[in-house]
């Protein structure tokens, strides 16, 4: 009980600082593509400038669309910046988290278990509404439910493409 009483003010203070320090500033997203000399993709307040499509990352995977029109290389940056690797194991991101399902293998088997849902749709649903399907051995309410609102449609598509590119069927 004492822990909860002490934790609440700290959590609120963290939220308030993050919430109020970004007010009035246009949102800027910079995407870094590893191994390509092309200029970075920059999105500022809804304006998009894109670089050449179909580039190849250092790992040799294509960054062109892979499920939902996203770019896997840009999805790597979304994965890293949102702390996904803290909870999930995913070899393409060099992530070894153990709190959530292993993204190298779990999405494919879980999509089949969830009424044979198409893999890209299952991955997107798992990000936007993580409690819609709970993987075997995990509990409801562990993954934050805010990514559907905090990620732009482009970031979401890129993240889905990145996870899809590294998931084993």
pLDDT single digits (tens) 84-124: 999 999 999 999 999 999 999 999 999 999 999 999 999 99
Q: How far is residue 17's CA from residue 15's CA, in Å, rounded to a whole number?
A: 6
Domain regions of the chain by residue span:
2-166
pLDDT score of 13 more than 90 = no
Rounded mean pLDDT, 47-63: 37
Mean pLDDT of the chain: 75
Banded model confidence at residue 147, pLDDT cuts 50, 70, 90: very high
Rounded mean pLDDT, 61-72: 56
pLDDT score of 143 more than 80 = yes
- Topology (CATH level 3) of domain 2-166: Cytochrome Bc1 Complex; Chain D, domain 2 (1.10.760)
How high is the pLDDT of residue 163?
Answer: 96
- Closest listed residue to residue 88, CA positions, set 77, 73, 104: 104
Q: Radius of gyration (Cα) for the chain, nearest Å?
A: 17
For strands 47-49 and 89-90, give the pairing.
unpaired
Banded model confidence at residue 47, pLDDT cuts 50, 70, 90: very low
How high is the pLDDT of residue 69?
Answer: 72
pTM of the model: 0.61
Instruction: State percent of the chain over pLDDT 90.
Output: 56
For strands 41-44 and 95-96, give the pairing.
unpaired
């Amino acid at each position: 009980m004492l822990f909860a009483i002490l934790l609440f003010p700290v959590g609120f203070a963290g939220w308030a600082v993050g919430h109020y320090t970004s007010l009035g500033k246009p949102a800027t997203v910079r995407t870094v593509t590893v191994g390509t000399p092309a200029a970075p993709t920059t999105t500022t307040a809804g304006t998009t400038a894109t670089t050449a499509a179909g580039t190849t990352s250092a790992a040799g995977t294509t960054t062109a669309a892979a499920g939902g029109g996203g770019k896997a290389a840009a999805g790597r940056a979304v994965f890293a910046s949102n702390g996904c690797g803290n909870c999930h194991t995913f070899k393409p991101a060099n992530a070894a988290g153990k709190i959530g399902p292993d993204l190298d293998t779990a999405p494919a088997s879980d999509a089949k278990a969830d009424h044979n849902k198409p893999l890209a749709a299952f991955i997107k649903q798992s990000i936007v509404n993580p409690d819609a399907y709970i993987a075997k051995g995990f509990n409801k309410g562990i993954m934050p439910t805010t990514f559907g609102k905090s990620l732009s449609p482009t970031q979401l598509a890129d993240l889905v493409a990145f996870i899809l590119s590294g998931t084993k069927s």
